[in-house]
């Protein structure tokens, strides 16, 4: 029951977080920007519109927005903010594979549309994902209390320290990649050649696009919450809200201050994340006093 | 037709024998001998028996031989059906052998029959070459295996595995390590571990599909059984170093195999490389079991061994499915080159969805079996982190976790490429309307394998609890409760599945308008689709240090270089390991060519050699 409430809260608030980040970024760039509730209006508008797909696209393309949304919901359900069964069963390894399921479906759908842009996006998405995966897994392991097993719930028990800080640093870089943020990807671009995540869903429209966008919002908020868990006191309600707000602000700041990296410089960033994560796990294992 | 029917029936009969012996072997805690063929000397005795360690492999063989037999009802040469039966029988005998001589005879029979299968289309030069490479590797490996087993038998003074196992505790460390190194070389080359993997990508594309399915699905596992037999029974207990070596080699194999697979564009060769990857994952599990056992953590050893055995079974199932599916593709399209395949989903109506199950399973996606066993492997590696062991052990474990995570990411990319490029999109070659696939006797074979992949993913305890029994018996631990695997896939998959069904239902209710693909207004052409080579381009660039890609671009220009009439683009990877092997071979050839000067053919020179040799012997002996 509590799990369902957690999921509902995340579903309801995810578009707002996205809208607030968008507005903040516009303000930082000196534009008025859309209202923070604009994503709700967009979703409502898209939901009312008909879906349009390329001729001959298979059932894989039809189903994958729903699958992607389901993966996002499952992700939201396993976050250990309430005492839930799911969080103590699902560990960070299974979580990583779960995220892979959604990505697999979307990449297949992109290749199914026969569009060169979508194919390119699928190729880049899978390339980045394969590099993100080790960093994500090791960062989460570094952030969990290894003695309690790697379940998602154990992220609450790990003491923060130098190891925790490094794990968080690694996770922050992963977060930028997973939520398609600027040094790695650009959500706001209108130029197909530079799109990664947006290019993947280029051929979707109407209520299917609404599903995909909502899924992306939910994934983003879930990642922010997961990042908050890696910070000290991140699981008490007020601290969580504070950390999520701070992280959202930090991401927006990064997006304003930095330009998008060239495609083949992204691996270096992800390797940095990976090295931070490995250092963190090393400190955790050999009992750093800090 | 008669030969084919006899072959298929024989395969199924052997499969039922495998299943029976698997059940009988799995219920014991210690090996038992069944039948002994008397021989003039005790060293030559042929004994068959049941060992619990062989039970998972027997079960895999039974599960795989049934669909492969069904497959050969309609496809392949009739003689292949008979060879398949013989091949299955040989593998059964390897798994049942309980003396050195019996093991070696069965091993050689397995190697030779599989070579005959690989040589099915021996009229082609590439096939003869692949068979030759395979025979060279397999015979060198067999020699290593024979020496290793003979050393053990000499120490024990008896050639039966039971006696060798009893004498194993007193083995001197030097001999123990020598046996391990030889076994690793012999069984590792057969299993396709990285530096010795090169026969796999040559043999698999040319072998008939059902032979590939058995080679990759079962024979590589039989080689791993050999490795387990030596390390856990005949030369046990080993030092921690063995485990570390296996973890390192396994991780490198997994990474190397998947990197080769992700840039390859021949479907069957790609699947062969992916076998190297999966064998690597299994070997990591075996290595961890050995390491944990030598560090005294038997519960963890049992978990790691269970994970390895589970992945061995799972890999056999999904790789069998994929190889048989690849044959259906080759049958319908006449090629397995991904650059020329596309849009198969439209007309391979039976194969395509089943192939998708195989791709999802091999990419380790929930709720399929590949996920369950990869998850268990990761879980046991992570479980080893906080335990005993020095910094170096922890470092190797962390590197292995990271390597396997990268491997699973790359495997996902690889199979998105395979399925997206070959099955989805639009056909790449203009053909008059392709024929819709009909339901044939090969379809239930694929269906059975896909059903098993799904079943073992949704309900892992079906397999994991018997495997745990075996693993516990093998490492000598007390039975332990398994981690929360049973509930895991349900938790993870219910919501995504519900979402997919919701999307399909909504699409049916609200309808979807179909329009041409958006190509910025230019005409929609097939050649605008992303190709397999293009898909793997970023990975080829990022991992250029290991793949050593080479490319060739020829631009045919007419009046102006800016308006080319045609562009031909070729790219090929040389691969770091293969390049090193090639350099080594070239150096050796050059040295031997120099040495040819010694063999002048002149009698006087040879007499001089003989005199020199005699003088040398006299000087040394004095």
Q: How far apart are the C-alpha atoms of B140 and B224, rounded to whole Å?
A: 17
DSSP B123: T
Report residue B431's pLDDT band, with 50, 70 and 90 as the boundaries: low
Q: How far apart are the C-alpha atoms of B413 and A107, rounded to whole Å?
A: 9
Kindly report the average pLDDT of chain B as a whole number: 86
Please give the biggest Cα pair distance in chain B.
100
Phi and psi at residue A159, to the nearest 5°: -70, 145
Domain spans of chain A, in order of start? 2-285
pTM of the predicted model as reported, rounded to 2 decimal places:
0.91
Contact B147, B179 (CB under 8 A): no
Phi and psi at residue A196, to the nearest 5°: -115, -70
Contact A148, A154 (CB under 8 A): yes
Q: How far is B379 from chain A (nearest CA, A)?
A: 8
A26 CB burial (10 A radius; 0-12, 13-18, 19+): middle
The whole-number pLDDT of residue B17 equals 84
Q: How far apart are the C-alpha atoms of B30 and B25, rounded to whole Å?
A: 9
SS3 call for B36: strand
SS3 call for B337: strand
Contact B300, B383 (CB under 8 A): yes
Question: Between the CA atoms of B443, B449, B453 and B458, what dihedral angle is there, to the nearest 10 degrees?
Answer: 80
Using CA coordinates, name the residue in chain B closest to A136: B405
Does residue B486 have a pLDDT over 60?
A: no
CB contact under 8 A, A129 and B413: yes
Q: How far is A116 from chain B (nearest CA, A)?
A: 5
Does residue B147 have a pLDDT over 70?
A: yes
How many CB atoms within 10 Å of residue A259? 9
Say whether residue B544 is in contact with chain A using an 8 A CB cutoff. no
The pLDDT tens digits of the residues spanning B46-89 come to: 888 888 888 899 999 999 999 988 888 877 788 888 888 999 99
Smallest Cα–Cα separation from B195: which of B289, B287, B280?
B280
SS3 call for B512: strand
Smallest Cα–Cα separation from A137: which of B302, B374, B359, B309?
B374
User: Could you say which of A62, A91, A147 has the minimum Cβ distance to residue B503?
Assistant: A62
10-residue mean pLDDT series, chain A (290 residues)? 85 94 92 92 94 88 93 88 70 88 92 88 91 89 72 74 86 90 82 81 91 94 90 80 92 90 87 88 66
* Beta strands, E only, B194-255: none
**ipTM exceeds 0.90:** yes
Task: Report helix angle B391-422 to B267-294, nearest 10.
Answer: 160
Q: Which residues of B touch A146 (CB under 8 A)?
A: 382, 385-386
When comparing pLDDT for B477 and B320, which is higher? B320
Contact B274, B362 (CB under 8 A): yes
Strands B564-573 and B549-557: antiparallel
B313 CB burial (10 A radius; 0-12, 13-18, 19+): buried
Q: How far apart are the C-alpha atoms of B50 and B434, rounded to whole Å?
A: 50
What residues contact residue B370 under an 8 Å CB cut-off, 6+ apart?
A: B311, B314, B315, B318, B360, B361, B362, B363, B364, B453, B457
Q: Which residues of B touch A78 (CB under 8 A)?
A: 491
Contact B492, A90 (CB under 8 A): yes
CB contact under 8 A, A74 and B386: no
Say whether residue A113 is in contact with chain B using an 8 A CB cutoff. yes
Say whether residue A161 is in contact with chain B using an 8 A CB cutoff. no
Contact B203, B111 (CB under 8 A): no
SS3 call for B311: helix
Q: Taking chain B, what is the end-to-end CA distance rounded to the nearest angstrom?
A: 73
Q: Which residues of B touch A68 (CB under 8 A)?
A: 499
Q: Provide mean pLDDT across the span B222-244.
A: 90
Q: Which residues of A touch B483 (CB under 8 A)?
A: 149
CB contact under 8 A, A134 and B402: yes
How many CB atoms within 10 Å of residue B483? 18
Helix (H) or strand (E) holding B565, with range, is strand B564-573
Q: How far is B515 from chain A (nearest CA, A)?
A: 5
**Sign of the Cα pseudo-torsion (A184, A188, A190, A195, in order):** positive
CB contact under 8 A, A94 and B524: no
SS3 call for B549: strand
Phi and psi at residue A181, to the nearest 5°: -100, 175
Q: How far apart are the C-alpha atoms of B242 and B230, rounded to whole Å?
A: 12
Q: Which residue has the tokens 């995504």?
A: B496
The pLDDT tens digits of the residues spanning B296-314 come to: 888 888 889 999 999 999 9
Q: Which residues of A touch B365 (CB under 8 A)?
A: 97, 100-101, 104
B116 CB burial (10 A radius; 0-12, 13-18, 19+): middle
Q: Provide mean pLDDT across the span B308-321.
A: 93
The whole-number pLDDT of residue B309 equals 93
Question: Between the CA atoms of A137, A142, A147 and A153, what dihedral angle is there, to the nearest 10 degrees?
Answer: -60
Q: How far is A202 from chain B (nearest CA, A)?
A: 9
Smallest Cα–Cα separation from B414: which of B359, B356, B354, B353?
B359
The whole-number pLDDT of residue B362 equals 94
Q: How far is A242 from chain B (nearest CA, A)?
A: 29
CB contact under 8 A, B416 and A78: no
Smallest Cα–Cα separation from B363: which of A106, A99, A196, A97?
A97
Tell me the count of A-B CB pairs closer than 8 A: 270
Q: Which residues of B touch A65 (CB under 8 A)?
A: 503
Helix/strand/coil (H/E/C) assignment for every residue in chain A: CHHHHHHHHHHHHHHHHHHHHHHHHHHHCCCCCCCCCHHHHHHHHHHHCCEEEECCCCHHHHHHHHHHHHHHHHHHHHCCCCCCHHHHHCEHHHHHHHHHHHHHHHHHHHHHCCCHHHHHHHHHHHHHHHHHHHHHHHHHHHHCCHHHCCEHHHHHCCCCCHHHHHHHHHHHHHHHHHCCCCCCCCCCCCCHHHCCHHHHCCCCCHHHHHHHHHHHHHHHHHHHHHHHHCCCCCCCHHHHHHHHHHHHHHHHHHHHHCCCCCHHHHHHHHHHHHHHHHHHHHHHHCCCCC
How many CB atoms within 10 Å of residue B594? 9
Contact B269, B130 (CB under 8 A): no
CB contact under 8 A, B402 and A65: no
The whole-number pLDDT of residue A210 equals 94
The whole-number pLDDT of residue B345 equals 87
What residues contact residue B307 under an 8 Å CB cut-off, 6+ apart?
A: B285, B373, B376, B377, B379, B380
Say whether residue B485 is in contact with chain A using an 8 A CB cutoff. no
CB contact under 8 A, B534 and A123: yes
Q: How far is B506 from chain A (nearest CA, A)?
A: 9
Q: How far apart are the C-alpha atoms of B169 and B469, rounded to whole Å?
A: 23
Q: Which residues of A touch B457 (CB under 8 A)?
A: none
Say whether residue A120 is in contact with chain B using an 8 A CB cutoff. yes
Rg (CA), chain B: 26
Strands B512-515 and A51-54: parallel
CA contacts within 13 A on the Cβ side of B382: 29
The whole-number pLDDT of residue A290 equals 38
Phi and psi at residue B549, to the nearest 5°: -75, 150
């Amino acid at each position: 029951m509590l799990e369902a409430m957690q999921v509902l809260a995340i579903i309801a608030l995810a578009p707002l977080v996205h809208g607030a980040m968008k507005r903040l970024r516009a303000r930082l760039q000196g534009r008025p920007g859309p209202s923070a509730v604009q994503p709700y209006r967009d979703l409502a508008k898209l939901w009312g519109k008909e879906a349009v797909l390329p001729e001959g696209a298979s059932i894989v393309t039809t189903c994958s927005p729903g699958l992607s949304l389901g993966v996002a919901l499952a992700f939201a359900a396993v976050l250990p903010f309430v005492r839930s069964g799911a969080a103590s069963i699902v560990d960070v390894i299974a979580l990583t594979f779960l995220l892979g399921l959604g990505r697999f479906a979307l990449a297949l759908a992109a290749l199914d549309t026969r569009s060169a842009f979508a194919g390119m996006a699928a190729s880049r998405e899978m390339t980045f994902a394969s590099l993100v995966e080790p960093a994500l897994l090791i960062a989460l392991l570094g952030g969990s209390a290894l003695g309690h097993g790697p379940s998602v719930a154990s992220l609450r028990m790990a003491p923060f320290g130098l190891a925790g800080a490094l794990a968080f640093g690694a996770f922050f870089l992963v977060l930028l990649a997973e939520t398609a943020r600027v040094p790695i990807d650009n959500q706001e671009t209108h130029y197909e050649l530079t799109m990664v995540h947006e290019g993947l869903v280029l051929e979707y429209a109407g209520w299917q696009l609404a599903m995909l966008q909502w899924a992306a919002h939910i994934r983003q908020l879930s990642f922010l919450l997961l990042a908050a868990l890696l910070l000290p006191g991140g699981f008490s309600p007020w601290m969580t809200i504070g950390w999520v707000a701070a992280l959202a602000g930090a991401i927006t700041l990064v997006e304003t201050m930095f330009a998008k990296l060239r495609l083949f410089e992204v691996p270096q960033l992800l390797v940095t994340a990976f090295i931070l994560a490995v250092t963190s796990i090393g400190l955790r294992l050999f009992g750093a006093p800090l | 037709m008669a030969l084919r029917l006899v072959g298929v029936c024989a395969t199924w009969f052997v499969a039922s024998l495998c299943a029976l012996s698997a059940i009988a072997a799995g219920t014991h805690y210690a090996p038992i001998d069944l039948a002994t063929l008397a021989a003039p000397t005790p060293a030559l005795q042929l004994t068959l028996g049941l060992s619990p360690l062989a039970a998972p492999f027997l079960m895999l063989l039974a599960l795989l031989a049934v669909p492969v037999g069904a497959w050969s009802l309609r496809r392949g040469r009739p003689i292949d059906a008979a060879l398949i039966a013989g091949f299955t029988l040989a593998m059964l005998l390897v798994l049942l052998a309980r003396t050195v001589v019996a093991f070696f005879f069965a091993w050689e029979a397995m190697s030779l029959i599989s070579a005959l299968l690989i040589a099915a289309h021996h009229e082609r030069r590439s096939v003869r070459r692949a068979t030759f490479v395979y025979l060279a590797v397999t015979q060198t490996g067999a020699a290593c295996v024979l020496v290793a087993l003979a050393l053990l038998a000499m120490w024990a003074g008896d050639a039966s595995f039971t006696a060798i196992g009893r004498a194993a505790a007193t083995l001197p460390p030097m001999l123990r390590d020598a046996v391990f190194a030889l076994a690793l070389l012999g069984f590792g080359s057969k299993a396709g571990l990285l530096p010795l993997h090169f026969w796999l990508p040559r043999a698999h594309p040319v072998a008939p599909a059902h032979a590939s399915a058995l080679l990759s699905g079962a024979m590589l596992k039989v080689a791993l059984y050999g490795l387990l037999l030596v390390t856990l029974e005949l030369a046990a207990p080993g030092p921690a170093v063995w485990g570390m070596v296996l973890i390192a080699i396994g991780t490198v194999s997994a990474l190397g195999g998947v990197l080769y697979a992700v840039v390859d564009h021949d479907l069957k060769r790609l699947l062969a490389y992916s076998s190297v990857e999966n064998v690597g994952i299994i070997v990591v599990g075996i290595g961890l079991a050995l390491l944990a056992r030598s560090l005294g953590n038997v519960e963890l050893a049992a978990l790691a061994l269970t994970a390895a055995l589970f992945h061995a079974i799972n890999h056999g199932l999904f790789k069998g499915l994929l190889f048989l599916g690849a044959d259906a593709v080759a049958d319908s399209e006449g090629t397995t080159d991904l650059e020329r395949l596309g849009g198969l989903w439209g007309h391979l109506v039976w194969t395509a969805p089943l192939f998708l199950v195989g791709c999802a399973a091999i990419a380790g996606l929930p709720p399929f079996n590949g996920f369950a066993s990869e998850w268990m492997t990761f879980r046991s590696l992570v479980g080893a982190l906080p335990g005993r062991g020095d910094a170096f052990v922890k470092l190797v474990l962390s590197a292995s976790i990271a390597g396997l995570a990268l491997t699973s990411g790359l495997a996902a990319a690889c199979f998105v490429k395979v399925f997206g490029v070959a099955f989805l999109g639009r056909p790449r070659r203009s053909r008059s309307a392709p024929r819709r696939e009909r339901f044939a006797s090969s379809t239930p074979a694929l269906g059975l394998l896909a059903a098993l992949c799904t079943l073992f993913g949704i309900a892992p305890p079906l397999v994991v609890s018997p495997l745990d029994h075996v693993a516990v018996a093998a490492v000598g631990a007390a039975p332990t409760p398994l981690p929360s695997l049973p509930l895991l896939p349900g938790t993870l998959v219910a919501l995504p599945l519900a979402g997919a069904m919701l999307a399909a239902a909504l699409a049916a209710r609200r309808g979807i308008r179909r329009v041409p693909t958006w190509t910025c207004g230019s005409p929609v052409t097939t050649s605008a689709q992303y190709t397999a080579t293009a898909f793997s381009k970023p990975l080829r660039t990022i991992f250029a240090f290991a793949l050593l890609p080479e490319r060739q671009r020829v631009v045919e220009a007419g009046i102006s270089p800016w308006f080319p009439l045609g562009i031909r683009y070729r790219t090929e990877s040389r691969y770091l390991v293969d390049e090193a092997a090639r350099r080594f071979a070239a150096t050796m050839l050059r040295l031997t060519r120099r040495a040819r000067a010694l063999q002048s053919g002149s009698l006087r020179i040879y007499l001089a050699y003989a005199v020199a040799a005699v003088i040398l012997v006299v000087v040394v002996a004095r």
